[in-house]
């Protein structure tokens, strides 16, 4: 389903009949194609932003941009817990509505609450529960995270975050407010399978970031312009809400739990998302913080850039498809852990191919695009690319745990992976590039094991064949 008629009152499901199912399947296929193209564009634009920043700032100042970028998207990763729970809750509510013949729209005074459905009682016959409004939920979360940004400002200097005389703090606070509203919007679009609109959101977000980075380079702005470029995509939600009736309809969707349970689930997902952020966008900060006196400064910068570059081909698309992965696992709950086979096989295959390409072409590409100061050997780049498979697999198994309503398992797996990776980064002997590769393989690997074992135990308890 791409952009349904905004007047549509109930989701198009398998209960709609053969014709409706065919239309829905065709629309969903078109939406997923659009989402794939949008994801490819987002990945490519991310590379271009890094290229622009590296060329504009040089090796000396690039770490400042990378630190600001990493901090913002690490905090945004926490907000993505709202997107994940909104996706799950909206999708589950639609499945329940399909099974019972009731409406999956959130009840409000101007909705047709009392209109009988074709196969069930009036919607008003269901027990009333505190209503969850997705966009106000995003606004409340955004205010809390923005306040955390402002309160943390005195600590920015000691940890190497540039404040740009206070403007950087204000920009990040505004950006994280928008990011939280965008997370709510993305969850609503994903849960209602409006993949076409979700693709537009990803595309506009990436295009805005790339455009502002290009303008900052053109103007010779080596600081504040790149801070604005980091956060500017977070206004995309507002454009969609204003211009798209389908987006507004998605944001009115009902969820399958009451307000208290929704926020408990969201809080758990946010806590786990903090672990995701630590391993994905925040890991370069770990590298800087754990650098040893005998680690050459150029090596630290080169490793940070290499980690970002080698992980992007796998993790950027996977991050964009997280909502679709959650929907996939919700739809395949009956298969239990066996549903993991296809997505895990896919990320492993992509990682192997990427590692080979990094070995052969990586040093030359980095030398040509970023300069000899950033160059690392082919085996190191291949190892870092292969290491991204561990984090990608952990994202897959974590989304499976979330879709199967095992939020605690989701949380535990991610934080065990974070702690294991941090411990290995500090304790393993060898050069910084070797320590980083080992930490990125083994740490997430422990988390994957926790998730898979937990899902197998749950499936056996429920009598699902594994």
Residue-wise pLDDT tens digits, 219-262: 887 678 999 999 999 999 999 999 999 999 999 998 888 888 99
Distance set, CA 249 to CA 20, 97, 257, 321 (Å) = 19, 16, 19, 22
pLDDT over 60 at 129, yes or no: no
Q: How many CB atoms lie within 10 A of CB 151?
A: 10
Give the pLDDT band of residue 464 (cuts 50, 70, 90): low
Average pLDDT rounded to a whole number, residues 112-138: 56
Residues 26 and 120: beta-carbon distance below 8 Å: no
The predicted structure's pLDDT at residue 280: 81
Q: Would you state the pLDDT for residue 61?
A: 75
pLDDT of residue 27: 58
CB atoms within 10 A of CB 207: 16
Cβ 394 vs Cβ 444: under 8 Å: yes
Q: Which residues, other chains included, contact 18 with Cβ-Cβ below 8 Å and sequence gap of 6+?
A: none
Q: Please state, as a whole number, how many other Cβ atoms lie within 10 Å of the Cβ of residue 110.
A: 5
Q: Tell me what percent of the residues of the chain surpass a pLDDT of 90.
A: 36
CA distance 175 to 198: 19
What tokens appear for 97 in the block?
Answer: 């509505």
Helix (H) or strand (E) holding 14: none
Q: Burial, 219: exposed, middle or buried (Cβ in 10 Å; 0-12, 13-18, 19+)?
A: exposed
pLDDT tens figures, 267-291: 988 887 788 788 888 787 788 777 7
Segments in 160-194 forming alpha helices (H)? 167-191
Identify which of 355, 285, 340, 343 has the alpha carbon closest to the alpha carbon of residue 317: 343
């Amino acid at each position: 389903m791409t952009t349904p008629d905004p007047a549509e009152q109930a989701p198009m499901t398998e209960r709609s009949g053969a014709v409706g199912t065919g239309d829905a399947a065709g629309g969903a296929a078109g939406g997923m194609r659009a989402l794939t193209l949008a994801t490819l564009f987002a990945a490519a634009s991310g590379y271009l932003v890094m290229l622009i920043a590296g060329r504009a700032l040089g090796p000396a100042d690039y770490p400042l941009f990378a630190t600001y970028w990493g901090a913002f998207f690490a905090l945004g990763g926490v907000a993505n817990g709202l997107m994940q729970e909104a996706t799950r809750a909206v999708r589950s509510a639609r499945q329940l509505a399909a099974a019972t013949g009731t409406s999956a729209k959130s009840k409000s005074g101007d909705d047709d609450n009392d209109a009988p459905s074709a196969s069930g009682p009036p919607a008003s016959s269901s027990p009333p529960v505190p209503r969850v409004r997705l966009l106000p939920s995003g606004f409340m979360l955004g205010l809390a995270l923005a306040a955390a940004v402002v309160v943390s400002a005195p600590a920015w200097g000691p940890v190497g975050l540039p404040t740009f005389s206070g403007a950087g703090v204000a920009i990040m606070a505004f950006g994280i407010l928008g990011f939280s509203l965008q997370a709510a919007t993305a969850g609503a679009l994903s849960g209602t399978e409006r993949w076409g609109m979700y693709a537009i959101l990803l595309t506009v977000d990436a295009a805005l970031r790339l455009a502002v980075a290009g303008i900052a380079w053109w103007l010779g702005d080596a600081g504040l312009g790149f801070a604005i470029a980091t956060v500017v995509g977070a206004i995309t939600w507002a454009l969609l809400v204003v211009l798209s009736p389908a987006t507004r309809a998605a944001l009115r969707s009902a969820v399958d739990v009451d307000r208290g349970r929704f926020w408990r689930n969201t809080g758990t997902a946010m806590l786990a998302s903090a672990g995701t952020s630590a391993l994905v966008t925040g890991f370069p900060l770990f590298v800087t913080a754990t650098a040893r006196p005998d680690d050459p400064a150029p090596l630290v910068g080169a490793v940070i850039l290499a980690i970002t570059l080698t992980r992007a081909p796998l993790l950027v698309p996977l991050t964009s498809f997280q909502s679709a992965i959650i929907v996939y696992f919700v739809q395949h709950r009956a298969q239990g852990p066996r549903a993991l086979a296809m997505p895990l096989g896919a990320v492993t295959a992509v990682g192997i191919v990427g590692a080979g390409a990094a070995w052969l072409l990586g040093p030359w590409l980095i030398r040509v695009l970023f300069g000899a100061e950033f160059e690392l050997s082919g085996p190191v780049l291949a190892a870092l690319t292969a290491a991204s498979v561990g984090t990608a697999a952990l994202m897959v198994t974590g989304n499976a745990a979330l879709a199967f309503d095992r939020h605690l398992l989701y949380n535990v797996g991610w934080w065990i992976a974070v702690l294991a990776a941090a411990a290995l980064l500090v304790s393993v002997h060898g050069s910084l590039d070797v320590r980083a590769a080992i930490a990125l393989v083994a740490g997430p690997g422990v988390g994957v094991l926790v998730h898979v074992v937990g899902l197998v135990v749950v499936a056996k308890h429920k009598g699902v064949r594994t």
